[in-house]
Structure 1
Amino acid sequence: MAGGLFTQLAQGEVLHLTSDVTHVRRGARRHAFRYRVDYLLLVPDLARPRGLFRLGRAGLFSFCTMDHGGPRGNGKGAAWAWEVLGQAGLRREGAMTLALMVQPRFFGFWFNPVSFWMVLRGDDLLAVIAEVNNTFGQRHSYLCHNEGFTPIGPEDLMTTEKVFHVSPFQDVAGRYEFRFRVTPARLAILIRHTDGEEGLIATLNAAPRPLRQAGLLAAAFRRPGGALRVLALIYWQALRLRLKGVAYRRLPPAPPEEISR
């Protein structure tokens, strides 16, 4: 199986990731939660529809190119991601695959707190664009890579300044640290936000597997609502934070640049 699963992406296959997602808030008001969330890993320009999964039109689960890559609601998909990577110095080669890890639409409803554009060369991960959306209609992305775009290993740590308002219960301050373990058997992402004694640790762990109708039906019954459920859970956690007395921050202007490199 090693290598074969990612090779299938370039052949139009779609992978299903039933992901364990955790958030742990640090500081004076500690707060933590854990949920399961369904992601898909696909190559947008090559992915093929399959039964309950549709492309470009509503279905139980679906994917639309305009949801990603560039301005929110008017995205350019993979063309935008390749442009960003090229400006950062990555030379595009035929052996590379640009995959997107994304929560699909559910009956046409879309919301993705964070999606990940991943450049793969075989089983090697060369770069990641973390595409972050808040609940206020804004988007900002963070480009992660090693110097010279050497393969990213599980111990490699990439840091960047936090410039985008995600939660109204945290300041736009401090730094993000990213770690990625991406293999055909396991996909794990760690995002750590540090701001003095305050901050947040978020993790995502999943085992990629080929998309099957039984898996989509199980997701619809066990985690009904898909992206709508995720948005509802965000508001539920916000209510819990308010009840704990955490101060609410007003929405600041979006950063002038759409991506941090």
Structure 2
Amino acid sequence: MHIFDHKKELMFFLQKERNNNRTIGLVPTMGALHEGHISLVKKALLENDLVVVSIFVNPTQFDKKDDLEKYPRNLERDLKLLGLVSENIIAFIPSVDEIYGKDIKSKTYEFDGLDKVMEGEFRAGHFDGVGTIVELFLRTVLPNRAYFGEKDFQQLQIIRKMAASKKLPCKIIGCPIEREPHGLAMSSRNERLSKTTREEASFIYETLQSAKSKFGTESAKNITDWVKDGFEKNPLFELEYFQIADEDTLTPMLKKQNDTKYRAFIAVYADGVRLIDNLRLN
């Protein structure tokens, strides 16, 4: 496995590989790798000759300093895990200075409203930070394909919008959510949960599944009210939002349209940790 921490060295290495007609996949991560990340890496390896896995905790996408400081980090374990998967992995581990220099701030993007709902409503500037770092990685690596998990589905749609608007020659691929045995969507943040809360967090996925079963016969308002009532009765969790939205535009569903794909989105606090999930409804 090759390891790089400077952009220019990585770009020089990858250009030689492209000159030999080798295809390149990119899996951007913030480290604290788990089986969800590894599933992305394995898919990327199946579809490309080489895979770049970036490990970078991006400061500009955190709206709370405390959340940035508490984000789990274990680089030694991450590299060991990647080394067990394949020798055709390239780890890119830049410092904050390498990425931003002394001016740690994000660019400003126009996402056509995709960034104004759900996560965007509760996390000011988050998606500008995401767009900044993903654009930089796409321009540095110049991958044929880049892979993102659907747990962050709103982020996935925003990255697709950004890549298209910037005319970046890369296919953005969304990959299914990987779940823990009890249903909780895999996330690096799960490591901060107590054992009991982590097991009880199956309640989040069970709620989404029940919402899906109700979707065929009940209105979005009735389902939302039912979800809110369920969380009010469960003292372990604090519901931040539940939203049924158009999968493509992310606009809230007002009246069901037969030719539209809908998805339920949820954000919940548990043990002071913010957890998100989503599920396609039709």
Q: Which has the higher helix share?
A: 2
Same-fold status (TM-score > 0.5): no
Q: TM-score, normalised by structure 2?
A: 0.24
- Larger RCO (alpha carbons 8 Å, 6+ apart): 1
Q: Which has the higher strand share?
A: 1
Q: TM-score, normalised by structure 1?
A: 0.25
